[in-house]
Structure 1
Amino acid sequence: MRGIAHGPGASLRDPKLFHKLSKLNVLAQKPASAKSRIWVLESLHDWLSYGMIKVGDVSKAVLQGDRTHCGFVSLFEAKQKVLNYLHEDLLHKAGVLESDRSLLKEASADHAAFRSHSGDGGEVTWQARLQKSGILIFELLEDLVYGRKFDHGIRQAAKLGGTPEQVFEQEPVKEAWQAIVREIAKELEERNALQRKAEEEPRQEEEELATVRKAPTSFPLHSASYWRAVANQTVRTYITLVPEPKTQEGVVTAIEQSSLKSIAGTQGSDSVLVFLDMDSLGESQGPGACKLLRRKFTADLPLLRKLIQGAMLARGSQKRENSEATRVVEGDLVMIHDGLGHPGGVKEAKNMFRLSSAKKEADLDSEVREVLIVFDDESIRQRKQRVKGSYTSHTTLLVASAAPLAQSVPERAYEHHPGHTTSNIVHGVKALAPADMWFASRTDKIALLTPDRCVDITAEAAAKAGDATSVPESIFSAALLPVEFFRDVLRGHAAKGMLDLSASQGCAAQSCLLERLPYVGFVLSEHHAKRLEVQLTQFIVDEMQREGSSHYRPEAAQATSAGNESAEKHASGGNVQPKKKNKKQEDGQEETQPKKKPKKTKKDEEEEAGGEENEGEETGENKSPLPW
């Protein structure tokens, strides 16, 4: 029988169980149908196997029952009706998610399925995919159908006709079910709140972006809004965001018209970086990704050629047959990160520096170097909900140049990681934490990544996911490289600017802002560009308040502090306790000294000569980093 589960106890094979044919006759004649007969035998075997009854307790009278006592056959049939009633009617009416209903039905289809999915030696990790209400339902199923907690009430209902509704009208079962109903209502309210928030976020971003793009003079001097406008001008001074063109010709045109058009590196002295992260070109797996996602967006050769070779052509590389560019121009460094999601990415990346018509074993037309990036083990483990089996803690960065790397840029030591630029390994890199990732609803995520760069889950997975589309998902789930890594890359290779073909969530852009370098990044959509501009503006606001930062402004820190105190006073109805003064302050003997400003380097003094308030004048008062 399909539902047989073998426990440590006795079983139907015990010779003492059916030494009298009268017991077999009851099991053959008493059940209402062949399906019920199978269920009764499975139930009897399950109880014997797991020690819930003993062989000596099974008699003809116990199986059959009488006018005053409900026998095992009637009891088991009533349990079967309760199970069917739950799955076919009650759970759907209560509003249980389709994904939970599917999982619960699979885990409690029969005794064998239940034992293999429960704590009696079975696999229980599947329960992590359930809502809390789903776990409570599974526990109720165990008590009602596969356990003996509510057997007294089920026997009474069986004697009265055995309808499942009568079972759920009994007080103990009713209380347990009402607790589940309350939890379902709570979860529904949480999902609705998340959905409302997801719908409001794009509108809030639009309004916030319109506000921060205003000139600083539109706000009171040194107010919080004033400094946000100054921060946005700083972003627009250094950062240019361009929606990814559809063709290679569009890539060439966009880069030739960007702020990097007149910036060139000098062989052996400095460089311009061209960077691409394969894991940031579309939807992928990773922390907070879409549940049940079994595939990822894979960058194919045409897409890589469009971006890499289009960028090389725009930067001055020679056009060869079929409009291909395989030789990096002097002064440029092309870096391609394969990521964890592209195990064959290094091979694909090398093909960018070889003509498509060339043989596979042909030499590359540029100097190519593989740099191993080894991540901090704990940072990789924190990105996993459960660590099962072995895992990978390294990726590869392919660096292509016109001449050997040692001749292209001077050797420098990294600041945030051990090692030098001439080494072929960077270790101790802390992978991006899940808390630092962007999150959005499924609908908003598709709008940001565009449908072409998202992955459709299978029909089976969609049925299990049910109404989970409002649950926030990480957008760039496979993003790994932090700001500190990009700062070391920029400083170590003496970068004068950066062309990022996969802007992602802006870690490279943040590093360019910290180094005050021009940055041009390809984004996947207008929505992506707007969200990234808002995030970068907030990043500069935070840097203005951080002592030691090259963007630090004491007035900005004071304005934010005053704004927080005002908000706190408003929230508390004006009852804010003043800070206590020491004795010297009360006597007027001690004056409050302003905090010392950090020493500025010569580079900072030159760049800040005009003041950040006037940085927007270089590109126009309200000019945006977006090209439209």
Structure 2
Amino acid sequence: MGGKRKASDTVPKAKAGEKKAAKAKAKPKPLVVKPCTELELSKDSLNAHVLAHLASCDATTLKEECFAGILEEPPNGTCGLLPYDAGVATAKLSKGEPYCCAAPLWWLNLNWELQPGVPKYKCRLDCLQKHFFSKAAFIKKEVLVYVEMPELPHLNKGQLLAFDSPEIRDAFRQALAAAVNHARDMEITDRQEALKPWKDAMLSVPFRFKAIEAEQHVTNTLFSPDSIIQEREDVGVLHENMRTSALMRSFEVMDLKRQLESGENAEKQTKQSLRDKYSDIKMAKGSEPVTVTFVEQAQMIHNSAAMSSPRVRNILLRFDEQGLENPMDSLHKIREVIVQSDKTKTDNLEWNFEMLFDFWQTCSEGGGKRDNISLGLLEGKMTGWNGKSLPQLFLYKRSLLHFLWKTMEKMTWHSEVKELLRSVTVSVVACRRHLGTLDKPAAFEQRAGWPESADALLLAIESLVYSYQHDEKILASLKNRKSVEECLKHADLKHFMEAVDKTPPDGNVDDANDGIGEEEDDGECAEEEGGDALPAVLDCNRSAAEMFMHNSSADTDDKVLEMRNKINMGVKGAERRVKGLVKLVAETSESSDLQALIANTSALKVQGSKKHYNVTVVDAKLLCESGVQAKYRPPPTRQTQLTKLLEAAYGAKGSDWTIGDAIVALDGGKADFEEKILKALPQAKKLHLTKYYVTYTSESLEGRIQRQHQETSLNQMECVYVFTVEPLSVIARPRATMPTQTTRGNVIGPLTAVKWSDAKECWNIRWVDKKKMLGAENLAVPDDKGEEKACKNSDVIPALFWESPETLAQEICHSLGAVAVLDLSAGSGHWALSCLRLRLPYVGVTLTATHSSMLEKKLTSKVLSLMSVSGNSLFDAAHASALQEATKGQEENTKNQKKRPAPKPKVRPEPAVGQNAGEGGQDEADGAAGGGSGGGEEGEGNTSREDLLKKIRMTMA
């Protein structure tokens, strides 16, 4: 070990022809090493984040008063060894004997490592800290230090180099900083007492000093019985999740190869020689063994462009930090991705590895399935992929991204919009940071002020490139060698580009239609003029955010416009959330047509299992209504319609019910429903039937027996039929909304039936809109015995009278562990809203296309309302804060307007001399009828329009 070596130098190897006389005359120089606080770290270095973290821990420790001047503190022997003594050290080391003693930890240069090319993982340090240093404890492993004679250890404080594994020491440094932070709020005396055991442990670290001559090389310590490699394996014996992974072993082998080949007369290491180096190492259980094939793959990986890219290397290290759950814990998988990406193209490698990591996190709910990325998926050997692999699919999606960027350049938007859109979609990392995912969007306020076409293009990029729900359709285009332009014309994908093209691009962002109130008002006007517009949204169905947008649509104040942009961001987020998870299709006359519509939806592609079912639900009382008699009796169950819907669901699932399917049917309290559902359900005889009983409170049902005698009994029960291939199996846990009950029970309740007059819980619409929603086929003719007058078109009534509350949908989804829902009776969207709360894919069959459009708006409004309610899964803190600020500002404006004095009435001039009463009356009449000045404009107290007209007629007479 030479005195000329710096911290970044590797261990030099002595020259073969060097003479002993030259060694004796060589005068060693003192080591010069930068202290920890002065270490300059590159963000692209292999262990940059871990080294920066440890440097921060050391800085935290040294700032504490009781650790000030720690290098001047004398060592102590509290660890069980005698403290360092300069005289004893001189005597033993001069004789070539090793010297074991206790010395302070900071005598070491903590930044120098024997194997700088081996990755360090914070998860391993956390595990060691939890195991060894959950409380103050001594480092038990001896620190091996080589000393160049005649230099002595105490003369090189802070510069000694350790030739053993640094992980235990790093864990101690991390624990020491945690203890300092924990004691920071204590009194001075209490803090010193709490940190004293840690200080003793830091001043009493076991050291083993060995003397060497200047320029003597010590690389043979790598494979001695107490070598650093063997120490790492010994740690893996204690903790199975700390085994040496394949990636970590590859770095270790390549770092070893580099060190052994350094020097003028060093021999070149072959695959066999590197394998032989590990022959005497005792591997821990689960550690990656070293074979000739392994060395060959390691060389290929580290010599490719992948490891020269910090982005690729960091992604691989993030994979490796997952421990036993790492889906890429194989050099063969890593090599396959590199080959499929063309190992010389860095941009391909960076794109594919980043997409792989996001794909694994997104599709396995944060990394819950190790086999999520199989070798066959990477090699292109999966059934139905026609030789195409996952990396090839990701590269095809990048081509989609580039095509959409070219489309953006053709638009006449502001240049800032284009630059911002490109920056947030340049990579999946940028997309997740700024936009989140479709079901968990991030607060990206800028898009609220964009033109509609720009927001539609951004949604297309999020859905097609950085989401995985349309991958099967994109893969079909890739297998058929179609261009990206042809791919975007796919029947299930073309609506993304249609949304971009249907809105004329606007160069002025401020002029873009950023509110929803204007659209609804336009619809209202079109309807009054006899147009075929969609029904307008009533104020009772609007959320607070939509009401603010509607009421402030004509306001030009800068603060109001700023708040509108913030609120509109939440509105757009709710729309994207609904469109991302909910698919609504209108019922068709033929079962085969409906089957084709729902067969390729995302909800049917999710595979269910025992305790986690793919739910198909039908509620017969939502499939039609009985006109004006609807509130007095439930609608009839039509056998033909029920059969058509269930046959379409059965055909869409491949004409076979699987173990993971659960068919849920609600009878609405009808005695003949069981017979009808068994007749309509395909393969009903082969299915197991489980019944749940739902109870309702009597108070909530009293309003629904208006046409019955008071002596008639009140039915407070509803039966839920659950059909499964095997006996139903559920996870025993508390119910979602009734924690005192468990899912093991077959009774759900008592629930509260929704009041028809409660606009917050019951979907209320106008009678004219309800007729459009139901359609002629689903509006049964009322009987002639009813005494109720026919409804007016303007009457506001419940959209569906006999619908079960949303609580029941939540409880059934919770009990069955639903992973997706196919709803054959969408109704008011209770099941859809439950899926939105749980972030599950949902497809619902509506009565008409108008029903689909109205329900989508209703769900968006409901999601917006829940986004401002803390404690639920849809809560959005940014949107809630913006809405609260907007509401507060609106209330202040209202108060200020009330405080303003009322305008004084105008004084009418006296009639001129010679002017008769008739002329004056005519002037008054003209003013009243024409809306000019005078009494006609200001009004006369409570005088009505009819009274004014009478006065006009009298004057004319």
Q: CA deviation at 1:382?
A: 4.7
Check whether the contact 1:205–1:530 (CA below 8 A) recurs between aligned residues.
Answer: no
Q: Percent identity?
A: 22
* Match status 1:351 vs 2:679: yes
1:353 Cα deviation after fit? 4.2
Do residues 274 (structure 1) and 616 (structure 2) align?
A: yes
Change (3 A) 1:354 1:315: closer
Please give the residue correspondences for 1:284-363 in structure 2 after superposition, counting only pairs within 5 Å: 284=626, 290=628, 297-318=635-656, 328-340=657-669, 342-353=670-681
Offset of residue 273 of structure 1:
0.5
Instruction: Report the more deviating stretch, 385-394 or 447-456.
Output: 385-394
The answer (yes or no) to whether the contact 1:450–1:524 under 8 Å persists in 2 is: yes
- The C-alpha deviation readout for 1:230-270, integer Å capped at 9, x for no partner, is 1111111111111112211122212212112321102x241
Task: Give, as a single letter, the amino acid of the residue that structure 2 aligns with 1:478.
Answer: W
Other structure's SS at 1:242 match: strand
Q: Distance in 2 between matches of 1:478 and 1:259?
A: 29
- For the residues of structure 2 that align with 1:429 and 1:295, how far apart are their CA atoms? 20
User: In the alignment, is residue 254 of structure 1 matched against residue 601 of structure 2?
Assistant: no
Change (3 A) 1:255 1:576: farther
Structure 1 residues 458 and 469: CA distance shift in structure 2, 3 A: farther
Listed as ranges, the gaps of 5+ residues in structure 1 are: 1-195, 319-327, 356-362, 578-628
* Structure 2 equivalent of residue 380 of structure 1: 701
Match of 2:880 in 1: 557
The answer to whether residue 754 in structure 2 is matched with residue 432 in structure 1 is: yes
Q: 1:467 to 1:317 in 2, by over 3 A?
A: closer
- State the one-letter code of the partner of 1:441: R
Larger radius of gyration: 2
Instruction: Map 1:500-579 to 2 at 5 A.
Output: 500-574=823-897
Deviations 1:391-435 (A, max 9, x none): 1000111110000113xx444442323544443322312222221
Whole-Å Cα distance in 1 between the matches of residues 525 and 864 of structure 2?
A: 24
In 1: Cα distance, 2:584 partner to 2:816 partner: 23
Cα distance in 2 for partners of 1:575, 1:558 equals: 26
Q: Secondary structure at the match of 2:601?
A: coil
Question: Pick from 751, 770, 775: which aligns with 1:445?
Answer: 770
Looking at structure 2, the residues matched to 438 and 206 of structure 1 have their Cα atoms a distance apart, in angstroms, of 10
Q: Distance in 2 between matches of 1:198 and 1:445?
A: 18
Secondary structure at the aligned position of 1:559 is classed as helix
CA contact (8 A) 2:692 2:746 kept: yes
Match of 2:737 among 416, 423, 426: 416
Distance change (3 Å), C-alpha of 1:203 and 1:484:
closer
Cα distance, 1:238–1:425 mapped onto 2, change above 3 Å? same
> 2-side partners of 1:458 and 1:197: how far apart?
35
Residue number among 794, 797, 800 corresponding to 1:473 in the alignment = 797
Contact kept in structure 1, 2:695 and 2:747, CA below 8 Å = yes
- Does the residue aligned with 1:562 lie in a helix, a strand or coil? helix
Deviation at 1:566, TM superposition (A): 3.2
Letter in 2 for 1:225: N
Q: Read off the aligned partner of 1:401 and give its amino acid letter.
A: T
Matched ranges for 1:64-143 at <5 A: none
Match of 1:72 in 2: none
CA distance in 2, matches of 1:479, 1:315: 27
Residues 198, 345 of structure 1: alpha-carbon distance in 2 compared, 3 angstrom cutoff: farther
The answer for the alignment partner of 1:283 in structure 2 is 625
How far off is 1:280 after superposition?
0.5
**Distance in 2 (alpha carbons) for counterparts of 1:412 and 1:488:** 12
Structure 1's 496 and 295: CA in aligned 2 closer, same or farther, altered over 3 A?
A: closer
What does residue range 199-218 of structure 1 map to in structure 2 within 5 Å?
202-205=534-537
Cα distance in 1 for partners of 2:791, 2:746 equals 47
Q: Is the 8 A contact 2:643 2:681 kept in 1?
A: no
Instruction: Compute the displacement of 1:478 (Å).
Output: 0.9
Task: Say if 1:333 and 1:401, in contact at 8 Å, map to a contact too.
Answer: yes
Distance 2:631 2:681 in 1: 33
Letter in 1 for 2:570: W
Residues 463-510 of structure 1: per-residue CA shift (max 9 Å, x gap): x62574543232211112x22222221122111111111010011111
Q: Any idea what SS the aligned residue of 2:605 has?
A: coil
CA offsets, 1:191-240, max 9 Å, x none?
A: xxxxx99967955349999x99x9xxx99786212211111111111111
Aligned mate of 2:819, from 496, 508, 511 = 496
Q: Is the 8 A contact 2:604 2:822 kept in 1?
A: no
Q: Is the 8 A contact 1:569 1:575 kept in 2?
A: no
State how far apart, in whole Å, the 1-side matches of 2:791 and 2:620 are: 31
Does structure 1 conserve the Cα–Cα contact (< 8 Å) formed by 2:629 and 2:782?
A: no
Compared with structure 1, are the counterparts of its residues 263 and 354 closer, same or farther at alpha carbon in structure 2 (3 Å cutoff)? closer
Cα distance, 1:226–1:290 mapped onto 2, change above 3 Å: same
Distance in structure 2 (CA, Å) of the matches to 1:460 and 1:433: 26
Amino acid at match of 1:204: A
How far 1:567 moved relative to its partner?
A: 2.8
Report the AA paired with residue 349 of structure 1. I
Query: Distance between the aligned counterparts of 1:532 and 1:310, measured in 2?
Result: 22
Match of 1:187 in 2: none
- Deviation at 1:346? 1.5
Q: Distance in 2 between matches of 1:334 and 1:292?
A: 27
Give CA-to-partner distance per residue, 1:297-355, whole Å, 9 cap, x none.
Answer: 4232221111112212212333xxxxxxxxx3220100010113x33112211223466
- The answer to whether the Cα contact below 8 Å between 1:293 and 1:457 also exists between their aligned partners in 2 is no
RMSD of aligned residue pairs (Cα, Å) = 3.5
Q: Return the alpha-carbon distance in structure 1 between the equivalents of residues 634 and 694 of structure 2.
A: 22
Distance (whole Å) between structure 2 residues aligned to residue 333 and residue 219 of structure 1:
48
CA displacement, residues 145-183 of structure 1 (integer Å, 9 cap, x when unaligned): xxxxxxxxxxxxxxxxxxxxxxxxxxxxxxxxxxxxxxx
Q: CA offset at residue 453 of structure 1?
A: 0.6
User: Taking structure 1 as reference, are residues 571 and 503 closer, same or farther at Cα in structure 2, changes over 3 Å only?
Assistant: same
SS at match of 1:537: helix
Question: Hey, what's the Cα distance between the residues in 2 that align with 1:466 and 1:380?
Answer: 24
Q: Which has the higher contact order (CA 8 A, sep 6+)?
A: 1
Equivalent residue of 1:223, what SS? helix
Measured in 2, the distance between the counterparts of 1:391 and 1:265 equals: 38
The 1:353/1:535 distance shift into structure 2, 3 A limit, reads closer
CA distance in 1, matches of 2:596, 2:536: 33
Q: TM-score, normalised by structure 2?
A: 0.34
Contact 1:260 1:497 in 2 (8 A): yes
- Measured against aligned partners, the alpha-carbon deviations of 1:517-566 in whole angstroms (never above 9, x if no partner) come to 11111111122112211111111111111111222222211221222233
Q: Which amino acid aligns with 1:271?
A: Y
Q: Which amino acid aligns with 1:372?
A: Y
Of 675, 678, 686, the match for 1:365: 686
CA shift in 2, pair 1:231/1:469, >3 Å? closer
Offset from partner CA, 1:29-72 (integer Å, 9 cap, x none): xxxxxxxxxxxxxxxxxxxxxxxxxxxxxxxxxxxxxxxxxxxx
Show CA shifts across 1:574-593 (max 9, x none).
5689xxxxxxxxxxxxxxxx
Aligned letter for 1:264?
Q
Aligned counterparts of 2:752 and 2:715: Cα–Cα separation in 1: 14
Check conservation: 2:693, 2:717, Cα contact below 8 A: yes
* Aligned counterpart, 1:225: 568
Give the length in aligned residue pairs. 351
